[in-house]
Structure 1
Amino acid sequence: MPWNWEMPGWPDFRYDAAAMAPLEQRFLLSSGEILGAVHHVSPSERDQLRIDLLSEEAMQTSAIEGEMLDRQSVQSSLRRHLGLSPGTYPTKPREQGVAEMMVDVYSTYAVPLTQDTLFRWHGMLLSHDRHLEAIGAYRRHGDAMQIVSGRQDQPIVHFEAPASAQVPREMDRYTDWFNRTGPGGADPLPALTRAGLSHLYFESIHPFEDGNGRLGRALAEKSLAQNIGQPSLIALAFTIERARKAYYDQLERHQKTLDVTPWLDWFAETVLTAQQVTLDRVGFFIAKAHFYDRFRDRFNDRQAKAITRMFREGPDGFKGGLSAENYLSITGTSRATATRDLQGLVEMGALRRTGALRHTRYWLNLVAA
C-alpha cells in the first residue's frame, strides 16, 4: 500500500466538514470558558499560572517521545525566557531548549509561519544533541526516513516519509498551506480542522532528522492560537501522552490514506479533552490561591513543605492519597512528629482524612468550610 504522500491528489486531504461542525462549535465555547476562568486569576498570579501550564506541556511533549525532563529546570528556564525572576535552580541544556521553544511558540503565535521559524524551533529544541547531522535544518541523509519498531533484524515499518531531497519542496507547499488556511488567509479553515490537518500533514513529511513530533504538536498549538486570537495554553501534549498508543495508531492509519475524517474526529475530541484538563487546572490554581489565603502563616516548616509537595502533584494529587510514610519521606521527621503534624492539619481543616490505621490517607481540602 502506498503512503499518503505517494497518492494522487496529495496533499489534498478529504474529510467531512459537516461532521466536524459540532466539534468546532464546542471548541469555541470551551475557549471562551477558559478565557473567562483565567480572568478570575489575579494579574499577579497569572505569570505563575502561565509557567505551570507551559511547563506541564513542555514535560509531556517530551514524555511522548520517551524523554523525561526535570520539572524545576523547565520552570526556571521558562521564567528566564519570559523575563521573570528565574530563581536559583540550575537550568539544563535539554530543559532550556524545550522551554525556549515553548515560549517562542507562545509569544509569536500570530506571526505567519516560515521555514526559518521551524529551523529556529528545531535549533532551540535540539542544540544539545551532538549526534544529529543537521540541527536547525532539514534532514539531508540519503537513507529512507522510516518510523520502525520491533527487532533490529525484523523491523516493522510503520511509516516511510518522502526522501530528503523532496523535503524542501514539500515544506514550501506546507508553509504556504498553513498561512493560506489561517484566519485572514485566502482559504481559512475552522480551528480544529486546520490544527488536525496541520499536524498530520507535517508528520507525513517528517522533515527533520529528529524532533518532528514535538514540532508537529507545536504547530498544532500555533494553529489553534491563531484561530482563537490568543495563546491557547491547552493541555494538548498532556492529553496525547495519556493516549499515546491511540495517537500513534491514528497517525499510522492516516498516513496510508487521504480520507482523514476519523483522524480529525479523534484529534478534535483530544483537543476538547485537553481544554477540559486546562479548565480543571485553572480551577485548581484558583483553589490553591484561596487555600493559602485561608491558612496563611498557620503551617510549621514541615507542614508547609508537605503541602507544597502535595500541590506539586496537581489536581489529581498523590495517587491513592498522602500516607504517613509519604509525609515522613518528604519532611524527614520522626513518626511521632509526623502524626502530630498530620493531626494538626486535619484539625485546622487543611487536610481531610480517609481510611484507618495503615490505610489512612490525607487529601488537600480545597473547599472552604
Structure 2
Amino acid sequence: MDKTRPSAGRSWPATEAEHEVWVSKSATWGVQATVAVPREINYTSSIPPFIAERELRLSSASAAMAEEASNELIRFDESLNGEIAPFAPLLLRSEAAASSRIENLTASARAVLTAELANRSGGNAARKNAEIIVANTRAMQAALDLSDDLTSHSVLGMHRELMTGDAHHQGGSWREEAVWIGTSSLSPVGALFVAPNFRRVPRLVDDLMIFARRGDLPRLAQTAVAHAQFETIHPFTDGNGRTGRALMQAMMRAKQLTHNVTVPVSAGLLANTNGYHQALMQYREGDIDTIVTLTAESSFLAITNAKELVIDIRGIQASWREQIKARADSGVWALLDLLARQPVVTADSAAQTLGLNPTNIYRLLNQLEQNGVLKKKPEYRSSVFWRSDEILAALDRFAERSGRRG
C-alpha cells in the first residue's frame, strides 16, 4: 500500500513523514584538521498527500470570504477592460516585485525598469536584486502565457524563466537533492520544514497539476490550496516561493478570475508575511481554511492597493495632457502612452516600440524633458536612459503600501 495516499475519514490529510539519512563530512581530528570523513545523521522528511481527487471542505466563513474575493477580483479586472495598455504591465511588474520582496529581494521601480533595458549582469547588491526581480517578471509573464496549459511542463517553463542567468541553480529541472527551511544550511537536522525526498517530486507535481486543472472546485480556494501544496512539495533547489506565486497567477487566469491584468496578490501577502508562512505550516497539518482565508484577505488588500495605483497613474496622465501642447496627430501622445506603462526608456527602445525614426524620437524625448515630464541620465556606463519620476514614484508608493498591514 502506498503510504502517501490519504486515509479515509479526514477532510484534508496532514503531511506525513519518513526517515532519511543525511551524510555529512566533518573533521574528526581537532579544529585544524584537514581530513574529513562521512558521518551519517538521521532526520525526517515530509510526505505530502496526493490531492488530485480530493474535495475542498471549507468552513462556511472561509468559503464565503473566498467567494466574495473571487467576485471582487473579477470586478476589478473588468473595470480596466478599456485601459489595459498602461495598467497590465505595471501591475505585472508590481506583482513580481512584491513576490520577490517576500523573499527579501528589494529594489526601486527605477532600478528594476532600468535593469529590464540594460540587459547586463553583475554590479552591486541593489542592481543584482533588480535583475532578479526582472527575471521574476519574466516568470510571471510565462505563467500567464502558459495558463491554458496547467501541467508539470508549464511549471518547469516558469522556473526556467525565473532562473535564467543564475549560476548556482539549474532552471527548469526538478531538484535531485534534499531541501529544507530554517535553522542551518549545513544539514536538514532540526529544520522547521524538510521537503519530500526528491524522488517523490515528479509524481507529486503531476498529481498537483491534475488538481489545478479541475473545474468543479471553488476557484480562489482551489488556487490557494494548490499554492500551499506546491510550497510543500518544494520541487526546486531555489525559487520555489516565486514560482509558486507565479503558478497562482496562472491559475487565476485559467479560472477566469482575471482576464486583462495581473492582480498583485503577493502585495497583499506582504502585509502579513508571518501569517503567510504560518498558514503554509498549518496546511501541512491538515488545515486548509487558514491559507484560503489569507489568500482571500490578500486579494482584497491587493485590489485596494492596485486601485490606488490606477488613480495615481490616471492623475499623472491627466497632468501630462494639460502640460503638453501638440497637434492631435503628434507622435508625442504615443510616446506618453508608452511612458505610462514603461516609465524608463532609451531612445532605441522607444523608437523600436513606436516604430519611429530614431531622429524623430530624440526630438520627442527632448520636448518631454523640456516640459518636465522626463529626466535623462546615463546608466550602466552606456546608453542614456529617460525616465518619468512621477510614474516611478507611484510604483514605489505602491510597493511601500504593500508592506503595511491593512
Common fold: TM-score over 0.5: yes
SS of 1:137's partner is: coil
Q: Residue type of the partner of 1:52?
A: L
Higher helix share: 1
2:345 maps to none
What is the deviation of 1:280? 2.3
What is the deviation of 1:267? 1.8
Q: Residue type of the partner of 1:57?
A: E
- Which deviates more, 279-288 or 233-242? 279-288
1:27 maps to 69
What is the deviation of 1:317? 4.6
Are positions 1:314 and 2:394 aligned together?
Answer: yes
Q: Residue type of the partner of 2:194?
A: E
Q: CA RMSD in A?
A: 3.5
SS of 2:183's partner is: strand
Alpha-carbon spacing, 1:33–1:3, altered in 2? closer, same or farther (3 Å): closer
Alpha-carbon spacing, 1:169–1:36, altered in 2? closer, same or farther (3 Å): closer
Alpha-carbon spacing, 1:126–1:70, altered in 2? closer, same or farther (3 Å): farther
What is the deviation of 1:135? 2.7
- How many pairs were matched up? 295
SS of 2:100's partner is: helix
1:362 maps to none
Mapping for residues 60-139 of structure 1, pairs under 5 Å? 60-69=98-107, 71-72=109-110, 74-75=112-113, 89-90=118-119, 92=121, 94-109=132-147, 111-132=148-169, 134-139=170-175
Which whole-Å deviations, capped at 9, do the CAs of 1:166-186 have from their partners, x for residues lacking one?
11121121112111x2x3xxx
- Which deviates more, 298-307 or 170-179? 298-307
Are positions 1:218 and 2:246 aligned together?
Answer: yes
Distance 2:270 2:232 in 1: 20
Contact 1:58 1:74 in 2 (8 A): no
Q: Residue type of the partner of 2:299?
A: V
Alpha-carbon spacing, 1:315–1:154, altered in 2? closer, same or farther (3 Å): closer
Contact 2:268 2:297 in 1 (8 A): no
Mapping for residues 1-369 of structure 1, pairs under 5 Å? 4-6=15-17, 11=51, 12=54, 15-16=57-58, 18-41=60-83, 46-69=84-107, 71-72=109-110, 74-75=112-113, 89-90=118-119, 92=121, 94-109=132-147, 111-132=148-169, 134-141=170-177, 144-149=178-183, 157-179=191-213, 181=214, 183=215, 188-228=216-256, 230-255=259-284, 257-296=285-324, 301=370, 303-305=372-374, 308-314=388-394, 317=397
Distance 2:228 2:207 in 1: 14
SS of 1:112's partner is: coil
What is the deviation of 1:211? 0.8
Distance 1:241 1:280 in 2: 17
What is the deviation of 1:129? 1.6
Alpha-carbon spacing, 1:151–1:39, altered in 2? closer, same or farther (3 Å): closer
Q: Residue type of the partner of 1:224?
A: M
Which whole-Å deviations, capped at 9, do the CAs of 1:327-369 have from their partners, x for residues lacking one?
xxxxxxxxxxxxxxxxxxxxxxxxxxxxxxxxxxxxxxxxxxx
SS of 2:237's partner is: coil
Alpha-carbon spacing, 1:212–1:316, altered in 2? closer, same or farther (3 Å): closer
Identity of aligned residues (%): 20
What is the deviation of 1:209? 0.9
What is the deviation of 1:76? 6.6
What is the deviation of 1:13? 7.4
Contact 1:224 1:232 in 2 (8 A): no
What is the deviation of 1:125? 0.8
Q: Residue type of the partner of 1:18?
A: S
Alpha-carbon spacing, 1:165–1:140, altered in 2? closer, same or farther (3 Å): same
Distance 2:187 2:141 in 1: 41
Which whole-Å deviations, capped at 9, do the CAs of 1:77-129 have from their partners, x for residues lacking one?
87xxxxxxxxx6445564553232222222332x1312111111111111212
Q: Residue type of the partner of 2:389?
A: R
Q: Residue type of the partner of 2:143?
A: V
1:348 maps to none
Q: Residue type of the partner of 2:193?
A: F
Alpha-carbon spacing, 1:58–1:154, altered in 2? closer, same or farther (3 Å): closer
Structure 2 unmatched ranges of 5 or more: 1-12, 18-46, 122-130, 326-366, 376-386, 401-406
Distance 1:148 1:319 in 2: 27
Distance 1:124 1:316 in 2: 25
Which whole-Å deviations, capped at 9, do the CAs of 1:42-61 have from their partners, x for residues lacking one?
xxxx3332221111112221
Q: Residue type of the partner of 1:206?
A: H
- Which deviates more, 115-124 or 221-230? 221-230
Contact 1:3 1:160 in 2 (8 A): no
Structure 1 unmatched ranges of 5 or more: 79-87, 321-369
Contact 1:251 1:263 in 2 (8 A): yes
Q: Residue type of the partner of 2:136?
A: V
Distance 2:72 2:309 in 1: 14
Which whole-Å deviations, capped at 9, do the CAs of 1:265-298 have from their partners, x for residues lacking one?
1221112221222222223222222222233369
- Which deviates more, 213-222 or 262-271? 262-271
